[in-house]
Amino acid sequence: MRIRGTVTDCHLSYCTNIHAGETLDEVMAGLREHLPAVRAQVCPGEPMGVGLRLGATALAALQDPARFEALKGFLDDGGFYVFTVNGFPYGTFHGATVKEGAYRPDWSDPLRLAYTNALAELFARLLPDGLEGSLSTVPGTFRPWAAGRLDTITANLIAHVARLVEIERATGKTICLALEPEPCCLLETVDETIAYFEGHLFGEAARAQLAAATGLSGTALEAAMRRHLGVCYDVCHAAVEFEDPAASIAALRARGIRIAKAQLSSALRVPALDEASAARLEAFAEPVYLHQVVERRDGQLRRFLDLPEALAARDTARGAEWRVHFHVPVFLPEMIGFGTTQSFLAEVLALHASDPVSGHLEVETYTWDVLPEAYRKVPLGAAIARELDWVLQRIGG
């Protein structure tokens, strides 16, 4: 939905990666079941924005004109519009072990480039006239795979930017590719993200590549790079990394790096680990997703690739603060026995209410089906609506 206020003018939705489904039939079933119910609760009678997730299987099916028209017809008839797309998970994202597979193929692989190009082309056909779109993606690669891949990753990202320039010329639709920093990835912190943008994506070799591919030069080239390439600021990820919300957002702005989308999400927080809180965390050590852990003690950070690894080291972590990459409902300030990073999210939303962080806001709690049973008693549509209402209360919508 579009939020208009004295300061705020942005679009808000939730990401449909919440709904299981890889085939187009499964995706459509999820949209039909949930979008009308959420709209009826959150913005009845008004157009509702959609944060659409399409994996490679569903995207391939949508190359059939009749199937594309069926999707577009459902959206148009239901009062829905797509302003942002999640292009992060390429393959299966629910119901099977995902873990580091969420980053595969990474941006060193031609498959990632081909998929994202095709996704942007389809997105341009759904994006309303006069509205810029955002497309979030893997932050380059998973850190353990990064050695020797940086130049190829950068070249493929710039090749995609060139395709976005072509799409804009052909359709008038502007799409920004938004790299999403995440723990244990090539781009993990805001400082690392800024360094990569300035040293590589906005560097001389990248400029030369984009100029050769598009014929742009000078200020037009500079504008295109910054218009079509930016960041997806995932609030859960930033909180897990112990970022300073105001300082990190200000740093991106100061360098002219666009925050094309802010994903509104909250993480698990243990203020001071003890045996009781470690035991309760065992319920969150599920087999589907990677749950990176960052520990802070006396201002120093220690990182664990996944929650089971961190729990195995609990004896050396007593008394330290843990933040766990497990997306939890944004309306929960605490959970059984420990807290969440909701206050971090509330600070970001307060900043947004006074000086918008991004034109695109997307709630992204994709872990409903792996939360402990005690937190899954509310129907999914009602829980999504409650999350959106919680955000609206804080940004004046």
Q: What is the pLDDT of residues 296-342, one digit of tens each?
A: 999 999 999 999 999 999 999 999 999 999 999 999 999 888 899 99
One CATH from 3.40.710.10, 3.90.25.10, 3.40.50.2000, 3.20.20.150 for 2-266+336-395: 3.20.20.150
3-state secondary structure (DSSP) of residue 77:
helix
Mean pLDDT, residues 71-87 taken together: 98
3-state secondary structure (DSSP) of residue 358:
coil
Q: How many CB atoms lie within 10 A of CB 135?
A: 24
Evaluate if residue 397 carries a pLDDT over 80.
Answer: no
pLDDT tens-digit series, residues 192-219: 999 999 999 999 999 999 999 999 999 9
Comparing CA positions, the residue from 206, 216, 220, 370 lying closest to residue 285 is 370
Q: How much is the pTM?
A: 0.97
Evaluate if residue 284 carries a pLDDT over 90.
Answer: yes
* Residues 365, 265 contacting (CB under 8 angstroms): yes
For the residues of 229-289, what is the DSSP string, one character each?
A: EEEEEEHHHHHHTT--HHHHHHHHHHTT-EEEEEEE-EEEEESS--HHHHHHHGGG--SSS
